[in-house]
A and B are shown apart, each in its own frame.
Chain A
Amino acid sequence: MSDIITLRGVSKSFGATEVLHDLDLTVERGTIFALLGPNGAGKTTIVNILSTLVAPDGGTATVDGHDVVRDREAVKRSISLTGQSAAVDEVLTGEENLRMMARLSGLTTREAKSRSRELLDRFELTDAASKRAKTYSGGMRRRLDLAISLLLTPPVILLDEPTTGLDTRSRQELWGVIRALADNGTTVLLTTQYLEEADQLADRVAVLDGGAIVAEGTPGELKSRVGGEVLAVHDGDGEVTREIPTDGTAAGLRAALSTLAPTDAVSLRRPSLDDVFLAVTTQKGPSA
């Protein structure tokens, strides 16, 4: 078991605003790690520190054993970043984008050509290969962006809100790609505002709020932290009208039921990451 990403006591302020406060984080090699949090929680700052775009004010961060400040060039060779705004050249075609980035990544002209073809095919962009990226849909642009990140296979891939603004189908396609990466041994650190995404993809999740990690664990651990089953009360049309969290024991359930009328329709569900998220971000409840 080895950690490929480590942050120790990292802090960062922009002007008077403290974005990260004494943050510790480790990501194990070959896993998918999700940073979950609302806008402004500091997710992007963490990604920017790990990708050498931003230097931390305090603490240390390493990627694959290289310090992000002292050993920038080595870190750059160990990562690829897919930022929040799609980093594609709109004037160039999809294929030209890939070939340009491949050349910049150090491939020969010939390697660049064949690798680009391969990725266009894998990301279902072959038909649009000779169209300018400007004409691409949001989903296609994201796929092109991700394809560029995968021209080389660095040990760490950083994805900043990779599925924001995508429709359900494109999102699920991207999830497939990300899972395949991890299956091949690449470490993926992604940020997301979507609990479902963290739940579906990640081996471990850190919930970030106000520049600090407020909860961390596997999706299952986090869910069990909010308690047991949730008792849902339905109206005549089957709509959920009330939700009562329970501790998952018979006694707890009995207590919850005793507050209801005998004719009420009820069901039980496992707590979702939504429940965790609300619990830890609003009350600053259980902390990691």
Chain B
Amino acid sequence: MTALATESTFIRRSIIHSIRTPDVLVTAIALPVLLMLMFTFVFGGAFESDGHYVDYVVPGIVLLCAGFGAASTAVDVAQDMTTGIIDRFRTMPIRASAVITGHVVSSLLRNLVATAIVVLVGVAVGFRPNATPLEWVGAFGLIALYILAITYLFAAIGLAASSPEAASGFGFIIMFVPYLSSAFVPVSTMPSWLQWIAGHQPLTPIIETIRSLLMGTSMGDNGWLALGWIALILVGAVIWTTLLFRAKARRR
């Protein structure tokens, strides 16, 4: 069988899994929408009384939502690795690690849909970006790359975890990272020791780049920093995933 047909069969499988696992869909789509409404209407007034907090918060919510949506990849991968099905894949004349590719691509598609919905809901509650079509493409491209990188990271976590439950627990830690960035409040409002962490962690330049593309804030070095961080996470996670998959196959 051609490699492409193997990959597409696994992608199809993972998409069916996504559609048939309602709690995953709820986490990926409904939760970010609810968070957006909460940040806009509940906290927004306190953060910025002029009512434009939604313009500030949408890029942060989009990345937070990507984290939630991608986290289920860890559980999916751990589930496949702990049931008998992986042994069947391994004893078929195919590249068995394509099963991971299936989960990753399905997560990417699921989260892009979620991102589009979140942005549309944002617009409905007052988000007014001033981006040109090209800037929109750039913003979505960057978000897609981020989703890809973080999904691969979750896939590696799923391989490293001993059970689906453990995978879910590890994943939760990563989902906390956006709160310590410029996602919800400007870094300058934080205590100085936290400013250092928030200013130097990968999510801040990524969020600032999206903000710059959509809202016209200044870009500075953020664009290159964002791409660099994403490339680093992606390459690291792909290597880690490959090594773990091989090690798991050998250890048995």
**Chain A interface residues (CB < 8 Å from chain B):** 48, 51-55, 73, 76-77, 79-81, 83-89, 91-92, 96, 100-101, 103-106, 132, 148
Contacts and interface: CB of A to CB of B under 8 A. Distances in A.
B9 A103 contact: yes
Contact of A48 (B1, B5, B252): B252
Contacts of B1: 103-106
Contact of A53 (B12, B13, B17, B252): B252
Given A54-B252, A91-B20, A105-B92, A83 B87 contact: yes
25 contacts: A51-B87, A52-B91, A53-B91, A55-B250, A73-B93, A76-B92, A79-B91, A80-B91, A81-B87, A81-B88, A81-B91, A85-B83, A85-B84, A87-B85, A89-B13, A92-B13, A100-B9, A100-B12, A101-B88, A104-B1, A104-B6, A104-B9, A104-B94, A106-B1, A106-B93
B16 A87 contact: no
A234 to B, nearest CB: 45
Interface in B220-234: none
A132 to B, nearest CB: 8
Nearest to A151: B92
Contacts of B17: 91
B87 to A, nearest CB: 5
Contacts of A89: 13, 85
Contacts of B249: 53
Contact of A91 (B16, B84, B91, B250): B16
B189 interface: no
Contacts of A101: 88, 92
B245 to A, nearest CB: 14
Nearest to B83: A85
Interface residues of B, number: 24
| Shortest beta-carbon contacts, A-B, top 8 | A85-B84, A87-B88, A87-B84, A106-B1, A76-B93, A103-B9, A51-B91, A81-B91
A25 B9 CA distance: 38
A86 B86 CA distance: 11
Interface string B137-166: 000000000000000000000000000000
Interface in B89-130: 89-94
Nearest to A81: B91
A104 B89 contact: yes
Contacts of B252: 48, 53-54
A216 B205 CA distance: 69
Nearest to A77: B93
A109 to B, nearest CB: 9
Nearest to A76: B93
Contacts of B90: 52-53
A86 B84 contact: yes
B21 interface: yes
Contacts of B91: 51-53, 76, 79-81
Contacts of A73: 93
A96 B13 CA distance: 9
Given A92-B13, A104-B92, A83 B6 contact: no
A48 B17 CA distance: 28
A101 B87 CA distance: 13
A96 B94 contact: no
A92 B12 CA distance: 11
A91 B20 CA distance: 7
A106 B181 CA distance: 48
Given A73-B93, A85-B83, A106-B1, A100 B88 contact: no
B193 to A, nearest CB: 46
A59 to B, nearest CB: 18
A70 to B, nearest CB: 16
A161 B9 CA distance: 29
A121 B50 CA distance: 67
Given A52-B90, A73-B93, A104-B94, 7 more contacts: A53-B91, A87-B85, A89-B85, A91-B21, A100-B13, A104-B1, A104-B89
